Amino acid sequence: MANIFLIVYAHQDPHSFNAAAKEVAVEALTSQGFIVEVSDLYAMNFKATATAEDITGELAADMPFHYAEETKLAWQQGKLSADITEEQRKLTEAELVIFQFPIYWFSAPAILKGWFDRVLTEGFAFTPEKRYSQGIFQDKKAILSFTTGSQESMFGINGINGDVYVAIWPIQYGTLHYCGFQVLAPQISWDPAHTSQEARGNMLEAWRKRLHGLMEEKPLFFPSMDSFDKELGFQLRTELHEQEASKGSTVDKHLEKVPRASQFKSGCLGELMLVQCK
């Protein structure tokens, strides 16, 4: 049986660079014999807001309305709205998911955030026991392919916009890895709106070339759940701190809360846990 890939695409314009990147992915993957499904969120008029309308029939409780609990019960009872159910079907069947979108205000567009909010319901995508390295989607891979509105130098560690990996940390770690996905390094297309046609063509060609080896890529490294002490509120175990210190690690000062870009290139545990490996 052929591999099934899902592309979750979030751009309004079918003539945009994001649209071209989506088409490159469809062509490159189908040429390899893969089955590709596309969720074109704007064309679908996908609802971005998480509301009581996402549950069919009566709610479990009158007041107060608790979205996470209600959708968990609705998923268990087969009472989620049809658009959520259809996206969950696609996600269940997919071995790899590509998220294609432009960066809006250092994050994903609202319509894509709505997809995360509404589709990744508790029970279906995670449980308190099944998350991070023990997550439900451990057998699936995911990758962010996105465009920026500024040139690459502006998103460097010393750039005016700050490190781009700060912006995507909540998506890569707090959403995808949280649900167990094996997260691949992102495909970043730098400022295509303000570059030459040749440069845009080169970016698309680089994406096409990468797609031919995507399934063989190793995912980004994140520490396992066993690396954290549950009795101490899921803090990184002391021996791991000491292990990193023995390597000559130093405290990362970049916002004092998130890793620098090189963690996503080297997969260094120390950087992930707020230190920078030398």
CATH number, domain of 172, equals 3.40.50.360
16 and 118 in a single domain? The answer is yes
112-116, 232-236, 256-260 — which is least confidently predicted?
Answer: 256-260
Residues 213 and 243 occupy one common structural domain: no
* Of 278 and 42, more confident: 42
SS3 sequence of the chain: CCCEEEEEECCCCCCCHHHHHHHHHHHHHHCCCCEEEEEECCCCCCCCCCCHHHECCCCCCCCCCCHHHHHHHHHHHCCECHHHHHHHHHHHHCCEEEEEEECECCECCHHHHHHHHHHCCECCCECCCCCHHHCCCCCCEEEEEEECCCCHHHHCCCCCCCCHHHHHHHHHHHHHHCCCCEECCCEEECCHHHCCHHHHHHHHHHHHHHHCCHHHCCCCCCCCHHHEEHHHCCEECHHHHHHHHCCCCEECCCCCCCCCCCHHHHCCHHHHCCEECC
Distance in angstroms (rounded) separating the CA atoms of residues 134 and 105: 31
Clarify whether residues 161 and 175 are in a common domain. Answer: yes
Residue with tokens 């620098």: 260
Please tell me whether residues 158 and 36 are part of one structural domain.
yes
pLDDT of residue 247: 45
Q: Per-residue pLDDT for 9 more than 70?
A: yes
- For residues 239 and 149, membership in a common domain is answered with no
Of 97, 103, 256, 118, the C-alpha closest to 177 is 97
pLDDT tens per residue across span 221-238? 888 888 888 888 888 887
Does residue 264 carry a pLDDT above 60?
A: no
Classify the C-alpha dihedral 24-27-29-32 as positive or negative: negative
Domains of the chain: total:
2
- Write the CB contacts of 82 (distance below 8 Å, at least 6 apart in sequence): none
pTM score, whole prediction: 0.87
Residue 229's φ and ψ, nearest 5 degrees, are -90, 110
The maximal CA–CA distance of the chain, rounded, in angstroms, is: 58
Domain span including residue 238? 221-278
Domain endpoint, select from 194, 217, 240: 217
pLDDT value of residue 256 = 39
246 has a pLDDT exceeding 60: no
What does the radius of gyration of the chain's CA atoms come to, in whole angstroms? 20
The pLDDT of residue 110 is 98
Q: Do both 251 and 115 map to the same domain? A: no
Task: Say whether both 166 and 264 belong to one domain.
Answer: no
The reply to whether 98 and 147 lie within a common domain is yes
C-alpha 55/C-alpha 70 separation (Å) is 8
Identity at 265, one-letter amino acid code: K
pLDDT band at 27 (very low <50, low <70, confident <90, very high): very high
Q: How confident is the model at residue 242 (pLDDT cuts 50, 70, 90)?
A: low
Count CB atoms within 10 A of the CB of residue 57: 8
Separation between Cα atoms, residue 44 and residue 256, nearest integer Å = 40
Residue that terminates a domain, selected from 179, 197, 217: 217
Same domain, 175 and 57: yes
Asked whether residue 213 falls in the same domain as residue 225, the answer is no
Asked whether residue 8 falls in the same domain as residue 121, the answer is yes
Q: How far is CA 169 from CA 24, 177, 257, 272, in A?
A: 26, 10, 11, 10
Asked if residue 183 and residue 249 are part of one domain, the reply reads no
Last residue of one domain, picked from the residues 196, 217, 238? 217
Query: pLDDT at residue 252 above 50?
Result: no
Rounded to the nearest 5°, which phi and psi values hold at 262? -65, -20
